[in-house]
Amino acid sequence: MLELDNPCLDCRNKCCVVGLIGLMLSKEEYEAYFKKYEQSFLVIPEDKLVFLTARDGIICPYFEDRGCKIYDQRPFDCRLYPYQMRLAYETKEKIKFILHSRSDCPRKTNLLLPEAEAKALIMDFGRKVYGNKKIIVQNCDNLLARLTNKIEILLVKLFKVLGIVK
Ligand code: SF4
Ligand code: SF4
């Protein structure tokens, strides 16, 4: 992954070493790259996704001195970093993701993708995982967006309980 002018070089890929605190993977990504290392992770399968957390802050098995061994095939969640994506909610018709840049990356000012590209990456991930379901991506970097998102999630939960939304 790393070339001499790569801004991650002197950081030594801290996001892969200590930052593997949560990867959201498609089942395909999990099966292809992480299933064989499942003993090292806390694995939470959820419908079409797999959430991965490193046990005891271990290093990602694909991290090596000069970077990611599977850089060209790395998971969507890794491609998005220093943005991070989260699942907000899923209904029968649609699925909503949020993205935010509240990660610890010290170089994120330089490394963040343009927001439109980050959203397109999540849309691509969503289409691969959920097919034709309507996909919404919202930037939740600011407080107002976070609050409205939280209210929306609560309303969706309530409407599901009441049977108004499935
Ligand atoms: S993306 Fe950020 S945290 Fe990760 S290695 Fe590069 S500079 Fe460090
Ligand atoms: S797959 Fe590659 S980019 Fe993703 S956490 Fe592991 S080493 Fe880092």
**pLDDT per position as a tens digit, 76-113:** 999 999 999 999 999 999 999 999 999 888 889 889 99
Q: What is the pLDDT of residue 15?
A: 81
Give the confidence band of 6 by pLDDT, cuts at 50, 70, 90.
low
The arithmetic mean of pLDDT across residues 55-68, rounded, is 78
Give the confidence band of 2 by pLDDT, cuts at 50, 70, 90.
very low
Residue 39 burial (C-beta neighbours within 10 Å; 0-12, 13-18, 19+): exposed
Give the confidence band of 5 by pLDDT, cuts at 50, 70, 90.
low
Tokens encoding 130:
């959920």
Of the listed ranges 10-14, 102-106, 151-155, the one predicted with least confidence: 10-14
Task: Select from 59, 70, 111 the residue to mutate for testing ligand 2; criterion: most ligand atoms less than 8 Å from CB.
Answer: 70
Q: Is the CA virtual torsion 147, 145, 137, 21 positive or negative?
A: negative
Query: Closest by alpha carbon to 14, among 43, 57, 55?
Result: 57
Q: Supply the residue whose CA is at minimum distance from atom 1 of ligand 2.
A: 74
How many CB atoms sit inside 10 A of residue 95's CB?
19
**Contact 82 CB / ligand 1 (< 6 Å):** yes
**Residue 63, beta-bridge partner list:** 68
Query: Closest by alpha carbon to 90, among 147, 140, 129, 148?
Result: 129
3-class DSSP state of 95: strand
141 Cα: distance to centroid of ligand 2 (angstroms): 24
List CB contacts of 22: < 8 A, sequence separation 6 or more.
51, 52, 53
On whether the pTM is more than 0.85, the answer is: yes
Query: Closest by alpha carbon to 50, among 36, 29, 71, 72?
Result: 29
Is residue 24 over pLDDT 70? Answer: yes
Tokens encoding 157:
């939960």
3-class DSSP state of 2: coil
For 55-144, strand residue ranges (E) read 63-64, 67-68, 84-90, 94-100, 134-139
Share of the chain above pLDDT 90, in %: 61
Between 2 and 12, where is the model more confident?
12
Q: What is the C-alpha to C-alpha distance for residues 48 and 40, in angstroms, rounded to an integer?
A: 21
pLDDT in tens, 126-136: 999 999 899 99
